[in-house]
Amino acid sequence: MHYLLTFRSLTYAQRAARILERAGVTAAVSRVPKAASTRGCAYCVTVPARYREKAMALLAGADLKPERVLLRHPDGTLEAAV
Amino acid sequence: MIYLDSAATTLQKPASVAYAVAEAMRTMSSPGRGGYESAMLAADTVLDCRTALADMFCVKRPEQVVFTSSATHGLNIAIRSLIGPGDRVVISGYEHNAVWRPLWGLGADIRVAASPLFRPEEAIRAFRERLPGAKAAVCTQVSNVFGYILPVEEIAALCRREGVPLIVDASQGAGAVGLDFDGLGCAWAAMPGHKGLLGPQGTGVLLCREPGEPLLRGGTGSMSAEPDMPDVLPDRLEAGTHNVPGIAGLLAGVRWLERETCPAVLAHERELLEAFSNALPRDGRVRQFRAPDKDIQTGVLSVQIGDMDCEEAAARLGEKGVAVRAGLHCAPLAHKTAGTLERGTVRFSFSPFNTYREAVAAAEAVKDILG
């Protein structure tokens, strides 16, 4: 399973991915699935589920707060994470 | 040709700049418009350029670096974000039309903190007297006509003390004179990409403290279901497709400066100015506007040649293969302040790619046209 961390700007998503990659967290920037985008086009960073806590801590340290955190299940469905 | 008009635009660039432009045109599409390889390659290049510029100008976050089409574009955004009709604005006596005209067009109450050329203490005093009650201040870092480095650090300190937001026009300083955006605490700083930063024409940079007011509205590739522009930087101020080849070229220029260093570039340009100046006739026929203290002048020298009309002098120098700019240099205010509004000047501006031999040859060309 993976988490999708959505951001309001591509620049934020890119910065987040670079910070995570530098810390050894696999992170990929991609478009947010249409069904999950509440305000139109957006970008997200996908991280393996096991890295969620580490990723959130790293991003908080860089003052980069994702707009939303979504859990992507193996069947592709998305669920808002608390 | 001996190109000495780098204060207008640098003609000679590092070879890597043209290569980067060509590569971007061949391999990169539009950032923020897709998730495929060419779009993400473009996005990575754009972020690399933002990050490099943030490092160079001491900006905390790369998203505070906004790409514009020119310094003028950036200054218009900054001015319209801070200033409305009737607002009192203090500007230096050396501002370019890129500052003066937008303020005039807005109907701002423009107060000119005029001070004599190459007298930084006087400039500080002029700002100190006029800042109380001002809505904003604008100060050029370096006069495009005279290469005069204004005391921006001290003026920024005065602005902080008075709570007046400061816009810095870094058009002539970027790439040579350092600018500590966070340290100065200025609200905005604008610069072109095609002068000292050695990028292509059509590139500009705006350093932002706050998101500000968009000059253009349109697609950003983000929050597209909303009618208003995104409220976050850089998207809020970057409507429309990015000039990716230009930004890629700008990045190559900035990388070259990182290697060579801005202080070394400034030192080189000052050496050439000195060589040129020393080789000019010393019999009073050439009036040089040269600072008594070389630390307050970049590699830009304005002169008046005999009784010649400055445009005629520039044309005759052009016939001899020396490319210079004459007239008012889009800065009538600077000429008025310095007392050269009637005659204008001929401006010689050096770049990292000029040589000592060229500087001396340009001085010989001046002697030739004097006869």
- Cα(B123)–Cα(B150) distance, integer angstroms: 8
Token pair recorded at residue B328:
């008012």
A15 to B34: CB separation less than 8 angstroms, yes or no = no
The residue ranges of chain B whose pLDDT is under 70 are none
* Mean pLDDT, chain B, integer: 97
Cα separation of the two ends of chain B: 21
Question: Which chain A positions have a beta carbon within 8 Å of B61's beta carbon?
Answer: 15
pLDDT value, residue A38: 81
- Is 80 exceeded by the pLDDT of residue A82? no
Residue of A nearest to B226 (CA): A39
- Cα(B96)–Cα(B150) distance, integer angstroms: 14
Q: Do B142 and B128 contact (CB within 8 A), yes or no?
A: no
- Cα(B59)–Cα(B74) distance, integer angstroms: 16
* Complex ipTM value: 0.89
Alpha-carbon separation of residue B168 from B95, B201, B222 (angstroms): 10, 21, 29
Residue entry with tokens 């010689």: B348
A29 to B35: CB separation less than 8 angstroms, yes or no = yes
Nearest to B223 among A15, A18, A42 (CB): A42
- Cα(B295)–Cα(B305) distance, integer angstroms: 25
HSE at residue B145, side-chain half, CA atoms within 13 A, is 30
Question: In this complex, is the C-beta atom of A42 within 8 Å of any C-beta atom belonging to chain B?
Answer: yes
Question: In this complex, is the C-beta atom of B225 within 8 Å of any C-beta atom belonging to chain A?
Answer: yes
Helix axes B262-279, B244-260, angle to 10 degrees: 80
- Cα(B93)–Cα(B117) distance, integer angstroms: 9
- Cα(B85)–Cα(B7) distance, integer angstroms: 32
List of domains in chain B = 2-11+262-370 (3.90.1150.10), 15-260 (3.40.640.10)
pLDDT band at A35, cuts 50/70/90?
confident
Closest CA to B204 of B196, B212, B219, B193: B193
Closest CA to B336 of B117, B107, B141, B104: B117
Alpha-carbon separation of residue B115 from A8, B125, B150 (angstroms): 46, 9, 10
- Cα(B362)–Cα(B248) distance, integer angstroms: 33
pLDDT value, residue B271: 98
- Residue B95: what residue type? E
pLDDT value, residue B33: 84
DSSP 3-state assignment of B142? strand
- Cα(B357)–Cα(B335) distance, integer angstroms: 30
B40 to A29: CB separation less than 8 angstroms, yes or no = yes
B225 to A40: CB separation less than 8 angstroms, yes or no = yes
Q: What is the arrangement of strands in the sheet containing A28-31, beginning at the earlier edge strand?
A: A28-31, A43-48, A2-7, A68-72, A78-80
Token pair recorded at residue B86:
């009737």
Percent with pLDDT over 90 in chain B: 98
pLDDT band at A19, cuts 50/70/90?
very high
- Is 90 exceeded by the pLDDT of residue A27? yes
- Dump strand ranges (E) for chain A: 2-7, 28-31, 43-48, 68-72, 78-80
pLDDT value, residue A74: 92
pLDDT band at A36, cuts 50/70/90?
confident
List of domains in chain A = 2-75 (3.30.70)
